[in-house]
Structure 1
Amino acid sequence: MPTPGVPLEKLGFLTLGTYDGDDPAPGHEHLLREIVLGEELGFDSVWLRHRHFQSGISSPVTMLAAASQRTSRIDFGTAVTPLGWENPLRYAEDLGTLDILSGGRMNPGISVGPPIHWDDVKGGLYPDTADVEDLTYTRVERLLRILRREPVSTFSGVDGIESFTDWVQPHSPGLADRVWYGGGSRRSVRWAGEQGLAMLTSNVIQSEGHDLGDDASRVFEQIQREQIELFRSVHPLGGAARVSQGLVVIPTDTATADQEARYRAYVEARTPRTAVAHGPRQMLFARDLVGSSEEIAEALYTNAAFREVREVVWALPFTFEHADYVQILTDMATKLGPALGWSPRASGATGIGAAG
């Protein structure tokens, strides 16, 4: 458990990849440059989040395929892909292609449930089948079977001059063993653990009846710690099961006065939401961390959930500029990571994907 003297083992970052909807090309290029910078700084991984009908990356697989041709070491992930937006068979083809292109660096992070604004988008997404689409865990199970090369077609053989398999092509061995699940409730983390998946925690979880008291942020940390413990208790690997914690973390060591002022205003505007539970599922939000690397490290060492993990995927705030992300990523890798005992991965080192 990371305490002073116990090093953080893996450091990744997560981004929305925001852009100007009227001129999307520069934002996409900035994201690719940020991924290249992450590799140069020694980050272990980069993760992209889905955004649909918004000015954020709607096709992470496409972006990561492009990034695979500009990088050689940094691992890729999605955090997370809501499978309600995807056909598991077609998505398996895309994931296999990306994994082949990247040399086994892909880590699919997924979740289930109806897409956001389901009633508004279902007609466009599934015009004929919305009412019968299975958006439960069985959708994940289908994807896993396909990634494991189980047959999904009733035909294999030669038709004319063309050969066909009954499994999805291309098949990338080991990809199915690198699937992560984004869990935020006891039910979801238990299911993910029983399936033998890795677990992505985030800055949003269900309160599940806990009394928030006077310090909701501490209650959040305690609930997340309990979920991590539950996940490992049912996972075939037990305590060795992989869990990554995701928080919004903004180091200011080399920030300009203007940058720091904007960062603190951003966090201040978002902080009130951390004091109460939201919506019918009583969702809780983690407090964003902003300050010097020393201050953030001190806060993390008091975080009950952080003390249960050895790897993190820190989320970049959305709406910032490319220069801001360059500064934040650089401080994460050169200041904050080392303050937590993390060491940059050398060029050419084995990644998550290659390690299985």
Structure 2
Amino acid sequence: MHAMKKIGFLSFGHWTPSPQSQTRSAADALLQSIELAVAAEELGADGAYFRVHHFARQLSAPFPLLAAIGARTRRIEIGTAVIDMRYENPLYMAEDAGAADLIAGGRLQLGISRGSPEQVIDGWRHFGYAPAEGQTEADMARQHTEVLLDVLKGEGFAQPNPRPMFPNPPGLLRVEPHAAGLRERIWWGSSSNATAVWAAKLGMHLQSSTLKNDETGEPFHVQQAKQIRAYRAAWQEAGHSRTPRVSVSRSIFALVSDMDRLYFGRSGQDGDQIGFIDDRTQAIFGRSYAAEPETLVRQLAQDEAIAEADTLLLTVPNQLGVDYNAHVIETILTQVAPALGWR
């Protein structure tokens, strides 16, 4: 078992003009995300992570948000879980990420992946990307990823203009600004064992979400724990000198107030759910947890994947507002996490 070293939150940044929502516009979603990250840092949480979805009433452009949070905070890790690499220009992304990381003083932890089913058909085509002949969209995402990882090393590759507008340093030029160490803080969001092994070979950390390809028919947390062990074995085999990190995300609510019971009293599922993420892939979705703190401690202690990971991301119901979400995070940090070995 790996000690639970870090606990952060993961927000999808949903917004809707509905009167029931505390987050009624894109501006609300962005500004409240910044405030929640500031509040989480004050509470002692370790990370503020955000999901990226295109063509949706959710967070989509991560780098202005990450940079703003970086300017308002000092200690907390700031990350994504995940950016869909089918949509990304890897060189432009390296500039944006480098700038945001420098503003944050080297605290970015970027989760990227091949992406999940989106709101529109082949949305990446509208962004100007299409798989090459004989390639799938997943191949394209992994290709964009390999270019990004290469560029983030900070080595020169572009031929300088012999008559430049400004004087150049000697040799081939790299994308600027370069953020030293960011290449070592890239995570791959993986839903299969094979892509977890691929990520390990490339020296990326692993983000495993609440959804996984159903590869063995076993309970979700058991399959996820096996995926993590396969990833760690592949990392060791690849001979990297760094220690790999692994995060899992969970919906966990401690019921300590009447409001908690009103919102989540009936939402703790006893079991996993099975569904299809596309025509061919059966997926297994992990359960959510909602109970009194002492019950949560017992339930979470049985979760093999939480035991294997070093980082836990708590998915937050962002439309319930900053104050309530800060309460959700604080309750887990104070009444549940210490019994799981946090800190």
| Deviation for aligned residue 1:31 | 1.6
Query: Does 2:192 align with 1:180?
Result: no
Q: Specify the alignment match of 1:227 in structure 2.
A: 227
Q: Is 1:249–1:289's contact at 8 Å kept on the other side of the alignment?
A: yes
Q: Using a 3 Å threshold, how does the CA distance of structure 1 residues 75 and 233 change in structure 2: closer, same or farther?
A: same
1:10-53 deviation line (CA, Å, top 9, x unaligned): 11111112334663323322221110011101111111111222
| Deviation for aligned residue 1:54 | 1.9
| Deviation for aligned residue 1:192 | 0.7
Give matches, 1:4-43, under 5 Å: 7-20=3-16, 23-43=25-45
Name the stretch that deviates more: 21-30 or 82-91: 21-30
Q: Specify the alignment match of 1:276 in structure 2.
A: 274
Query: Does 2:96 align with 1:99?
Result: no
Alignment match of 2:140 (pick from 130, 135, 138): 135
Give matches, 1:100-119, under 5 Å: 100-112=102-114, 116-117=118-119, 119=121
In structure 2, give the amino acid aligned to 1:168.
Answer: V
| Deviation for aligned residue 1:325 | 0.7
Q: Specify the alignment match of 2:197 in structure 1.
A: 190
Alignment match of 1:66 (pick from 65, 68, 86): 68
| Deviation for aligned residue 1:285 | 0.3
Name the stretch that deviates more: 129-138 or 165-174: 129-138
Q: Is 2:87–2:124's contact at 8 Å kept on the other side of the alignment?
A: no
Q: Quick one: distance in 1 between partners of 2:328 and 2:73?
A: 20
Q: Specify the alignment match of 1:125 in structure 2.
A: 127
Q: Specify the alignment match of 2:292 in structure 1.
A: 292
Query: Does 2:337 align with 1:337?
Result: yes
Q: Is 1:276–1:284's contact at 8 Å kept on the other side of the alignment?
A: yes
Alignment match of 1:245 (pick from 245, 248, 258): 248
Q: Using a 3 Å threshold, how does the CA distance of structure 1 residues 329 and 151 change in structure 2: closer, same or farther?
A: same
Q: Quick one: distance in 2 between partners of 1:137 and 1:331?
A: 38
Residue ranges of structure 1 left out of the alignment (5+ in a row): 213-218, 344-356
Query: Does 2:39 align with 1:52?
Result: no
Q: Is 1:108–1:178's contact at 8 Å kept on the other side of the alignment?
A: yes
Query: Does 2:213 align with 1:211?
Result: no
Q: How high is the sequence identity, in percent, across the aligned residues?
A: 28
| Deviation for aligned residue 1:318 | 5.0
Question: What SS does structure 2 have at the residue aligned with 1:80?
Answer: strand
Question: What SS does structure 2 have at the residue aligned with 1:342?
Answer: coil
Residue ranges of structure 2 left out of the alignment (5+ in a row): 18-23
CA RMSD of aligned residues (A): 2.5
In structure 1, give the amino acid aligned to 2:149.
Answer: L
Q: Quick one: distance in 2 between partners of 1:200 and 1:332?
A: 21
| Deviation for aligned residue 1:286 | 0.3
Question: What SS does structure 1 have at the residue aligned with 2:304?
Answer: coil
Q: Specify the alignment match of 1:168 in structure 2.
A: 175
TM-score by length of 2: 0.86
Q: Specify the alignment match of 1:350 in structure 2.
A: none
Q: Using a 3 Å threshold, how does the CA distance of structure 1 residues 27 and 112 change in structure 2: closer, same or farther?
A: closer
Name the stretch that deviates more: 293-302 or 258-267: 258-267
Q: Quick one: distance in 1 between partners of 2:125 and 2:204?
A: 32
Q: Specify the alignment match of 1:301 in structure 2.
A: 301
Q: Which runs of 4+ in 1 moved over 6 A?
A: none
Alignment match of 1:159 (pick from 157, 160, 164): 164
| Deviation for aligned residue 1:293 | 2.3
Q: Is 2:160–2:168's contact at 8 Å kept on the other side of the alignment?
A: no
Question: What SS does structure 2 have at the residue aligned with 1:50?
Answer: coil
